[in-house]
Structure 1
Amino acid sequence: MSPQIPHPARVLVEGTRRAVRTARNRRSPGASRVPSQLTDITPAWLATALGKPVGSIRAITVLDSHSGTAARARIGVDADDDSIPDRLFVKLPPSDYPQHVLLDLFGLAEKEVLAYRALGEDPPVRIPRCHAAESDPRRSRFALVLEDLTATARFRTVVDTVSRAEAEAVVDAMADLHSVFWNSDRFAGDLAPLAHRPAFETHLGTMIRRLLLRNIKGHTADMIPEAVARACRIFYLRSAEMDTLWASLPQTLLHGDPHLGNLFFEDDGPGFLDWQIASAGAGIRDVAYFLTASVDPALLRTIERALVQRYVDRLAAAGIAVDGARWWTLYRAATTDWFLAAVCTAEAGARMQPLEVSREGVRRAVAAVEAHDSFRVLTALVDGR
Structure 2
Amino acid sequence: MTSRSLATTLGIGMVAKEAIRVGLDRTIPTRTGIPLRADQVTEQWLGDALGLTPGAIESIHVVQQDSGTAARARIAVQSDADIPDHLFLKLAPHNYLQHVLMNVFALGTHECLAYQALGSNPPVRIPRCYVVRVDRTRRRTFLALEDLSETAEFRTVIDSVTRTEANAVVDALADLHAAFWRTDRFAHDLAPLAVRSAAEIRIGDMIRRRFLGEITGHTADLIPEPTKRQCRMLFEHSTAIDAFWDSQPQTLVHGDPHLGNLFFEGAAPGFLDWQVAKAGAGIRDVAYFASASVEPDLLRTIERDLVERYARRLDTAGIAVDGDDLWSLYRAAITEFFLAAVCTAEAGARMQPLDVSRVGVERAVAGVLAHDSFTVLAAFADGKRV
TM over 0.5: yes
Structure 2: how far apart are the matches of 1:166 and 1:287?
13
Q: 1:4 to 1:25 in 2, by over 3 A?
A: farther
- Which aligned pairs between 1:245-256 and structure 2 lie closer than 5 A? 245-256=244-255
Task: Number of aligned residue pairs: give it.
Answer: 382
Instruction: Report the equivalent of 1:238.
Output: 237
C-alpha contact 1:176 1:315 (8 A) present in aligned 2: yes
| Aligned: 1:310 with 2:309 | yes
Structure 1: which 5+ residue stretches go unaligned?
A: none
Letter in 2 for 1:24: L
Number of the residue aligned with 1:128: 127
For residues 278-293 of structure 1, the aligned pairs below 5 Å read 278-293=277-292
The 8 Å contact of residues 123 and 176 in structure 2, kept in 1 or not, is answered as yes
Partner of 1:53: 53
Tell me, yes or no, if the aligned pair for 1:59 and 1:77 is still in contact at 8 Å: yes
Offset of 1:63 from its aligned partner?
A: 1.0
1:171-206 deviations in Å (ceiling 9; x for gaps): 000000000000001111100100111222111001
The answer for the alignment partner of 2:163 in structure 1 is 164
- Calculate the aligned-residue CA RMSD, in Å: 1.2
**Contact conserved, 1:155 with 1:263, CA < 8 A, in 2?**
yes
Aligned to 2:149: 150
**1:233-254 superposed Cα distances (whole Å, 9 cap, x missing partner):** 1111110111100010100000
Aligned partner of 2:41: which letter?
A: I
- Counterpart in 2 of 1:38? 38
> What does residue 75 of structure 1 align with?
75
Q: Give the CA deviation at 1:131.
A: 0.2
Aligned partners of 2:71 and 2:92 also within 8 Å = yes
Normalised by the size of structure 2, how large is the TM-score?
Answer: 0.97
> How far apart, CA to CA, are the structure 1 residues paired with 2:189 and 2:11?
27
Deviation of the 1:31 alpha carbon? 6.2
The answer for the alignment partner of 2:95 in structure 1 is 96
* 2:17 paired with 1:17: yes
- Equivalent residue, structure 2, for 1:115: 114
Task: Give the letter aligned to residue 50 of structure 2.
Answer: L
**2:266 equivalent in structure 1:** 267
Partner of 2:137: 138
- Could you tell me whether the CA contact under 8 Å between 2:7 and 2:199 is conserved in 1? no
Q: Is the 8 A contact 1:133 1:144 kept in 2?
A: yes
Question: TM (normalized to structure 1)?
Answer: 0.97
Higher mean C-alpha deviation, range 305-314 or range 65-74 = 65-74
Distance in 2 between the 1:17 and 1:192 partners? 22
**1:52: how far off?**
1.1
TM-aligned CA deviation for residue 9 of structure 1: 3.1
Contact 1:4-1:199 within 8 A present in 2 as well: no
Distance in 2 separating the partners of 1:278 and 1:325: 26
1:5/1:52 Cα in 2 relative to 1: closer, same or farther (>3 Å)? farther
Corresponding residue for residue 221 of structure 2: 222
Residue ranges of structure 2 left out of the alignment (5+ in a row): none
Residues in 1 aligned to 2:199 and 2:305: alpha-carbon distance in whole angstroms: 39
Mapped contact 1:5–1:199 kept (Cα < 8 A): no
Name the structure 2 match of 1:337: 336
The Cα shift of 1:263 comes to: 0.3
**In structure 1, how many angstroms separate the alpha carbons of the residues matched to 2:361 and 2:154?**
21
Cα distance between partner residues in 1 of 2:31 and 2:24: 10
Contact 1:29 1:36 in 2 (8 A): no
Partners in 2 of 1:321 and 1:103 — Cα distance?
Answer: 37
Encode CA deviations 1:129-149: one digit per residue, 9 max, x unaligned: 000111113213110000000
Give yes or no for the alignment of 1:63 onto 2:100: no
Q: Deviations over 1:75-97 (max 9, x none)?
A: 1111121x111111001101111
CA distance in structure 2 between the partners assigned to 1:91 and 1:5 by the alignment? 36
Q: Tell me by how many angstroms 1:38 deviates.
A: 1.2
Deviation digits for residues 271-299 of structure 1 (CA, Å, limit 9, x no counterpart) = 00000000000000000000000000000
The worse-fitting range, judged by mean Cα deviation, of 242-251 and 10-19 is 10-19
- Between the aligned partners of 1:368 and 1:281, the Cα distance in structure 2 is 21
2:207 maps to 1:208 = yes
Residue 85 of structure 1: aligned partner:
84
Structure 2 CA distance, aligned partners of 1:179 and 1:10?
36
- Alpha-carbon distance change, 31 to 198 in structure 1, aligned in 2, over 3 angstroms: farther
Q: Which residue identity lines up with residue 64 of structure 2 in the other structure? A: D
Q: Could you tell me how far apart the structure 1 residues matched to 2:14 and 2:62 are?
A: 37
| Distance in 2 separating the partners of 1:340 and 1:77 | 40
1:104-160 deviation line (CA, Å, top 9, x unaligned): 110000000000000000000000000011111321311000000011100000000
Structure 1 partner of 2:318: 319
Label 1:32 to 1:212 Cα distance change in 2 as closer, same or farther (>3 A): farther
Q: In the superposition, relative to structure 1, how do residues 185 and 9 fare at CA in structure 2: closer, same or farther (>3 Å)?
A: closer
Query: How far, CA to CA, are the matches of 2:304 and 2:6 in structure 1?
Result: 41
CA displacement at 1:377 relative to structure 2: 0.3
- The one-letter amino acid paired with 1:36 is L
1:179 corresponds in structure 2 to: 178
Task: Determine the C-alpha separation between the residues in 2 that align with 1:161 and 1:263.
Answer: 12
Please tell me the residue identity of whatever aligns with 2:23: A
Residues 5 and 11 in structure 1, CA contact (< 8 A), matched pair in contact too: no
- The whole-number CA distance in structure 2 between the counterparts of 1:248 and 1:222 is 35
